[in-house]
Amino acid sequence: MEDNEQELSIRRILVALDASTHSLAALEAAADLAANLGAELIGLFVEDENLLHLAALPFSDEVRSPSAIRQPMSSDEMEQQLRLQARQARRALAKAAERSHARWSFRTVRGQVTASVLSAALDADLLALGRISRPISQQSRLGSTARAASTRTERPVLFMKHGSNLNYPVLVTYDGTPAAHQGLATAANMAQASGDDLNVVLLAKTLEDAVPLREEATKWLIRRGLTAEFHWLPETTVVMLADMVKAAENCVLVLGGDNPLLHAEAIQELLDSTDCPVMLVR
């Protein structure tokens, strides 16, 4: 790893906002990051076309929860409700940005949620979003947008869950690839900004393979005036990583590199078995 390799620079953070508590957790985390990295916050609310189409169907009824009353839907009412949600999202964004003294902007787009978010993410350096919006079943751990974001965008993505935050030691995977380096650099930035410990998980099949990785990372960190604790993960599996995360009790997981852990199924499995914030850096 050479010093002149381009480090990941996060200047614009896109937060996908909906009415869910998970997205508010993502907003809080993004605001913290924006404060630490001096980045700009961009709030995005998508007026879901599916809902508008549904409301415009002639027979469409919604079953209200928890009263179980059936109520006919109308386009006007649906638009009104979406506008209301957008206003709430904007207010939340303004409040979070004010707290972290970050520059911010907010926009509302109409379209398919996933496509709109991924499209907007192209203009940002980091996408922050809740793991899921408002699930029908508690068994659903990763929403469709989050799932798409985990696989279909090249941008770093931060997945947040309601109740978690970024004020914990940072755990970053490192396999020596350029993406892994970017992950390490991002994790180092986060740890440095928040003053938390940095833990590097070396992904290598053998100890012999792990040693050069460690030296490489150490060298880089020393030049940055940083230290880290190193761990070796001989098998790059979700189960082993999840065990390590659980052992750390609370942490922020940064997944970097090019390895099976960055596949959508693996991410979903990881999010199922852990509650910590997860950042993907490709």
Partner 1 sequence: MAPVQPLEVDALCLKCDPTQFSFKSTAELENLEEIIGQERAVEAIEFGIGIRRQGFNLFALGPNGTGKYTSVHQSLVKKAASEDVPSDWCYVYNFEHPHMPKAIQLPPGKGMELWQSMIALVEELFAVISGAFESDEYLNQKRTIETEFQEMQERSLEALKQEAATQDIALIRTPAGLAFAPLKDKEVIKPDEFMELPLEQREQIESQIENLQQRLQEIIRQVPQWMREGRARVKQLNKEVASFAVIPLFEELKEKFKESAEVLTYLDAVQEDVIEHNGMFLESGDEAGPGAAAAALLPSSQNKESFANRYQVNVIVDNSQSQGAPVIYEPNPTYTNLVGRSEHIAQMGALMTDFTLLKPGSLHQANGGYLIVDARKLLLQPYSWEGLKRALQGEVIRIESPGQAYGLVSTVALEPQAIPLEVKVVLLGDRMLYYLLHQNDPDFSELFKVAADFEDQMERNDDTNMAYARLIGTLARKEELRHFDPSGVARVIERSARMVGDSIKLSAHMQSVADLLREADYWAGVDGNDLVNGEHVLKAIEAQIRRTSRIEERMRESILRETVLIDTEGEKLGQINGLSVLMMGNYAFGKPSRITARVRMGSGEVVDIERQVELGGPLHSKGILILSSYLGSAFAADRPLSLSASLVFEQSYGGVDGDSASSAELYALLSALSRVPIRQSLAVTGSVNQHGQVQAIGGVNEKIEGFFEICRARDLTGDQGVLIPAANVKHLMLGQDVIDAVADDKFHIYAIDTIEQGIEVLTGVAAGEKDEEGHYPEGTINHKVVARLEEMAETQREFNRPPEDKNQEEAVDSEEEDQS
- Cα–Cα distance measured from residue 214 to residue 148, given in angstroms and rounded to the nearest whole number: 32
- Cα–Cα distance measured from residue 45 to residue 109, given in angstroms and rounded to the nearest whole number: 6
Of 8, 54, 109, 148, which lies in the binding site for partner 1, with binding defined by CB under 8 A? 54
- Cα–Cα distance measured from residue 157 to residue 8, given in angstroms and rounded to the nearest whole number: 13
CA-closest candidate to residue 7, choices 155, 144, 227, 181: 181
Is residue 54 within 8 Å of residue 64, measured between CB atoms? Answer: no
- Candidate segments 43-51, 155-163, 186-194, 222-230, binder of partner 1 by CB under 8 A: 43-51
Of 5, 11, 38, 50, which lies in the binding site for partner 1, with binding defined by CB under 8 A? 50
CA-closest candidate to residue 45, choices 77, 81, 12: 81
- Candidate segments 121-129, 132-140, 175-183, 273-281, binder of partner 1 by CB under 8 A: 132-140
- Using the rule CB under 8 A, is 113 a contact of partner 1? no
282: CB partners within 8 A, 6+ apart: 154, 156, 179, 182, 256, 258, 262
Of 36, 133, 236, 268, which lies in the binding site for partner 1, with binding defined by CB under 8 A? 133
- Using the rule CB under 8 A, is 19 a contact of partner 1? yes
- Using the rule CB under 8 A, is 68 a contact of partner 1? yes
- Using the rule CB under 8 A, is 223 a contact of partner 1? no
Of 1, 7, 60, 230, which lies in the binding site for partner 1, with binding defined by CB under 8 A? 60
Of 11, 21, 38, 57, which lies in the binding site for partner 1, with binding defined by CB under 8 A? 57
- Using the rule CB under 8 A, is 225 a contact of partner 1? no
Judged by beta carbon, residue 149 or residue 280, the one nearer partner 1 is: 149
- Using the rule CB under 8 A, is 64 a contact of partner 1? yes
- Using the rule CB under 8 A, is 56 a contact of partner 1? yes
Of 137, 163, 195, 223, which lies in the binding site for partner 1, with binding defined by CB under 8 A? 137
- Using the rule CB under 8 A, is 134 a contact of partner 1? yes
CA 248 to chain centre: 20
How many Cβ atoms sit within 10 Å of the Cβ of residue 222?
Answer: 11
Spatial strand order of the sheet with 229-233 comes to 104-111, 40-48, 12-17, 126-130, 157-160, 278-281, 252-256, 170-174, 198-203, 229-233
Of 82, 200, 210, 254, which lies in the binding site for partner 1, with binding defined by CB under 8 A? 82
